[in-house]
Structure 1
Amino acid sequence: MTRLGRVGAETGAGWRSFVRRRTAVFFTFFFPVILIVIFGALVRTDPTGEGLFTEPPAYYVPGYLAVVVLFTPLSRLGSEVARHRDGNRFEKLATTPLSRDEWLLAQTVVNAVIIGLASLLILGLVIALTGATIAFSPLLVPYVLVGVVCFCGVGAMLGSYTDSQDGAVAASNAIGLPLLFLSETFIALDQLPAWFEPFVNLSPLTYFARGVRAVTYPDAGTPAVAGLDPALANLGILAALAVVTFALGARSIPRTD
């Protein structure tokens, strides 16, 4: 079987495994919907112009998308790798032609399809519930795909280095929640202490948020990067980080248990 055939077969198996778990399917799409309803429809902009959620609704589109681009790969890949370790499935995998990077690529494709569908749902709800005016750009697709690759690599590392499936889920939440709110998604950089800015720049999600905001809400005035267009520059940075995290994630997956 060719490399493409192996990845395709594993992708099909991963997709069937996902759709069979109805609870996982439900919460994958339900969680971001709840956030949009709470933050977008119930929590309104502060009329004094101070505090949180003072920006126009379109400003927070990257944050809503980040919910699935960040949490779905971290939790799904982390728990999937941990589950494979608990069941000694990587030991069996080592006897097949399927390599670790092919296995991770197949899981990433499954996550990309799931998150792509969830992103369409999110964009539709944001427009319907908040009245946000969003500029649709072809660059939005690669941003979502590259973000998925990046955080699938991180999720694979979490599943490889934690001691159990519960530990992987706990670690994904412990890492994901701070990143979600401290990566220029829902909280603007000028609302954070000046000394915290270098830490914001260490987060891959920051470049996702800045780039998505640049392509969906040009009026936000996303700053250029080294004189380059912010939409393309942030995508380039995110892509470089995705290559690194995917390689580290594939390398961390055990050959045997």
Structure 2
Amino acid sequence: MSATAPTETQDLAPVRTESLAELLIATERPPRPSALSACLTFGWRAMLKIKHVPEQLFDVTAFPIMMVLMYTYLFGGALAGSPQEYIQYLLPGILVMSVVMITMYTGVSVNTDIEKGVFDRFRTLPIWRPSTMVGYLLGDALRYAIASVVILTVGLIMGFRPDGGLLGVVGGIAVLLVFSFAFSWIWTMFGLLLRTEKSVMGVSMMVIFPLTFLSDIFVKPETMPGWLQAFVNNNPITHVSSAVRALMDGTSPTTELMWTLGWVVLLVGVFGPVTMRLYNRK
């Protein structure tokens, strides 16, 4: 039979209430993060998701390339005489269309985090409350920039030549990114309002498809019936597309830029407060 060695017991030091309180209650609290710091932190979190799940970049790489190739070679000969002529008009519009269409994934990401319970933990943090939503939008701005670079690279290979030069290209992308940031607030609202991510995607596509196809992305509004021109000329996607196209062409898009900035202010002013109200009540 094997004998078990007796275990030695040691007396623990008595714990005083005063010493325990000193450990639990710090003399100085760490400083509360600023609104900018909180927004950048959540934006970095959104970018880390791309790092760990690189498949998320499929919609900003393969999808834009497919769009440029398909529409240029399918409709270029019929609408402009040749694909090389058509791409000069089409590429800025396809750039706007591709970036606007991927903005809906912001709402999908918000809805997914709500279903996983992540937002419940975010709401307990001593941070500026809108920083969570703003961080999502800042992180997605990187995706929009990647999509823009991919489309422009493919367009340059296919023969697109912007007369506005590098400054016009950078200005056009900047205008598009600002508008996409404002436009994404719509999908954050739907991400909070709807129950499942499939519902968010379904509603988003119902809104995006009419706005993008009933615009001047593919053809000039002058070729459309009069009743359709009334909608197309007042479509925010038309204003953004015309502004980006004019900047890349080297012309002055003062009117279209004013309309685009007006839509940016309107979208943020309307859907921003609505989104935060839904977020506070969720």
TM surpasses 0.5: yes
> When the two structures are aligned, how many residues end up with a matched partner?
243
Residue of structure 1 equivalent to 2:143: 114
Q: 1:143 maps to which residue? A: 175
Higher relative contact order (CA 8 A, sep 6+): 1
Inter-CA distance 249–47: structure 2 relative to 1 (3 Å threshold): closer
* Higher radius of gyration, 1 or 2: 2
Conservation of the 8 A alpha-carbon contact between 2:79 and 2:86: no
Query: Which ranges in structure 1 are unaligned for 5 or more consecutive residues?
Result: 220-228
CA–CA separation in structure 1 for the residues paired with 2:205 and 2:94:
16
Output one character per residue of 1:36-69: Cα deviation in whole Å (capped at 9) or x when no partner.
Answer: 11122454322886xx989632111222112332
1:19 aligns with 2:48: no
Q: Taking structure 1 as reference, are residues 101 and 68 closer, same or farther at Cα in structure 2, changes over 3 Å only? A: farther
> Which residue pairs with 1:44 in the alignment?
76
1:48 to 1:245, Cα distance in 2 relative to 1, 3 A: closer
Matches within 5 A, 1:191-206: 191-206=223-238
The aligned counterpart of 2:200 is 168
In the alignment, is residue 133 of structure 1 matched against residue 142 of structure 2?
no
* Percent of aligned pairs with the same amino acid: 20
- Per-residue deviation, residues 178-199 of structure 1 (Å, max 9, x unmatched): 2221121113212322112232
Are the counterparts in 2 of residues 65 and 119 from structure 1 also a CA contact under 8 Å? Answer: yes
Q: Equivalents in 2 of 1:48, 1:93: separation in Å?
A: 52
Whether contact under 8 Å (1:79, 1:169) holds in the other structure is yes
**Pick aligned residue for 1:72 from 93, 102, 108:** 102
SS of corresponding position for 1:156: helix
Residues 76 and 85 of structure 2 are in contact (CA less than 8 Å); yes or no, is this contact kept in structure 1?
Answer: no
1:57 and 2:82 aligned: no
Q: 1:3 Cα shift?
A: 1.6
Which sits farther off after the overlay, 95-104 or 58-67? 95-104
Q: Distance in 2 between matches of 1:107 and 1:83?
A: 12
Equivalence for 1:249: 271
Measure the CA separation in 2 of the matches of 1:36 and 1:123. 10
Distance change (3 Å), C-alpha of 1:3 and 1:53: same
Q: Relative to structure 1, is the Cα distance of residues 235 and 114 closer, same or farther in structure 2, using a 3 angstrom cutoff?
A: same
Cα distance, 1:205–1:93 mapped onto 2, change above 3 Å: same
5+ residue gaps, structure 2: 1-32
Distance 1:196 1:43 in 2: 21
Aligned with 2:39: secondary structure? helix
